[in-house]
Amino acid sequence: MENVIIIGTGPAGYTAAIYSARADLSPLILTGSQPGGQLTTTTDVENFPGFPEGIMGPELMVKMQQQAERFGARVENGVEVTDVIKNDDGSFTVKAKQVFGAETMEWQSKTVIIASGASARYLGLPGEMDLVKSGAGLTACATCDGAFYRDVPVCVIGGGDSAAEEATFLTKFASKVYLIHRREELRASKIMAQRALDNPKIEPVWNSQVVEYLLDDNGRIRGVKLESTVDGSHSELELEGVFMAIGHTPNSGFLSDELVDKDESGYVLQVPGRTATKTPGLYSAGDISDTVYRQGITAAGQGCAAALEAEHYLAGLEG
């Protein structure tokens, strides 16, 4: 019987592990299919406190794992959780399978912290994830990467509030921001849409979708190929950065409705002001529940809070 099982290994999961391990709870971390989470697809991270010169995303995640392991956290690599079950005695059964393989396994735990995150949606074009991982001009976080695109043209793909907000944010850095949308008007709220469209640096590109990333000799994005959603014609747009803003998918499919409440998009709902879910002993932290901030540092803060709540819950069990 484990004291704490942590599902996921981004900033939320590793921070929860650090705090749980320092409390002598010997947490077990299940990595999932993307060890380290979304930050492993990011190159330079310059907004995480403590690294004045910045740090590579994968390196930051490795350091967090090493810190957790230093205090006694254990990491189970290559396993993806398929189910979490609340047992009659109040404990949990966590079922998993190998990411590459057919073996299944399960653990028992007194508490569980869900830090499985959310995955940014991309277009599914050939070579897309290679561009993300290599930092070659494709990203899904304007707050994280906008400063790398000073005085160059960029585009934002999307039509909702996030797209309008990110396009407006990018005008602080980019020389021009193309807002590419499949329709002829934004889906964003009226105030967000108007704010974006009134900005002289933002140029909407209506009824268009990106069908190809155009690369220079160094493998970096130099533009995009567009296809009209009206007549199917093609055109090219020269730019140096593509920012995806078509939403995120929370990695919550393995959680039943009996165990947690979710919003219409699948994000796990927390007890207001806490990281607890509706099930005692079950906590969520980071992007699995965060629909607003989605930053490494806010995820880490929630990981800390979840670990403290789990520790308090365990102390209550001991009487």
Distance (Å, whole) CA 262 – CA 268: 4
Distance (Å, whole) CA 257 – CA 140: 29
Q: Which of 53-57, 167-171, 259-263 has the lowest mean pLDDT?
A: 53-57
Report the percentage of the chain scoring pLDDT > 70. 99
Distance (Å, whole) CA 148 – CA 174: 9
pLDDT digits (tens, 9 = 90+) for 26-72: 999 999 877 777 777 666 788 899 999 999 888 999 999 999 999 99
* pLDDT band per the 50, 70, 90 thresholds, residue 102: confident
Averaged pLDDT score across all residues of the chain: 94
The alpha carbon of 83 is separated from its chain's Cα centroid by a whole number of angstroms, namely 21
Distance (Å, whole) CA 58 – CA 51: 14
* pLDDT band per the 50, 70, 90 thresholds, residue 76: very high
- Short-list 218, 26, 34, 14, CA closest to 107: 26
Question: 291 or 283: whose pLDDT is higher?
Answer: 283
Q: Is the CATH number 3.50.50.60 carried by domain 122-244?
A: yes
Whether 122-244 and 2-119+248-318 are alike in CATH topology: the answer is yes
Bridge partner list, 241: 154
The mean pLDDT of 132-136, rounded to a whole number, is 88
Confidence (pTM): 0.80
Distance (Å, whole) CA 161 – CA 33: 29
pLDDT score of 41: 67
The mean pLDDT of 120-133, rounded to a whole number, is 91
pLDDT score of 47: 87
Distance (Å, whole) CA 223 – CA 153: 9
Distance (Å, whole) CA 278 – CA 285: 14
Distance (Å, whole) CA 16 – CA 113: 8
Q: Which residues in 81-115 are b (16+ Cβ under 10 Å) and which e?
A: beebebeeeebbebebbeeeeeeeeebebbbbbbb
Span between the terminal Cα atoms of the chain, in Å: 18
Q: 272 pLDDT exceeds 90?
A: yes
Please name the fold of domain 2-119+248-318.
Answer: FAD/NAD(P)-binding domain (3.50.50)
DSSP character at residue 270? P
Break the chain into its structural domains and give their ranges.
2-119+248-318, 122-244
Decide if 217 contacts 133 (C-beta within 8 A). Answer: no
Residues labelled catalytic: 141, 144-145
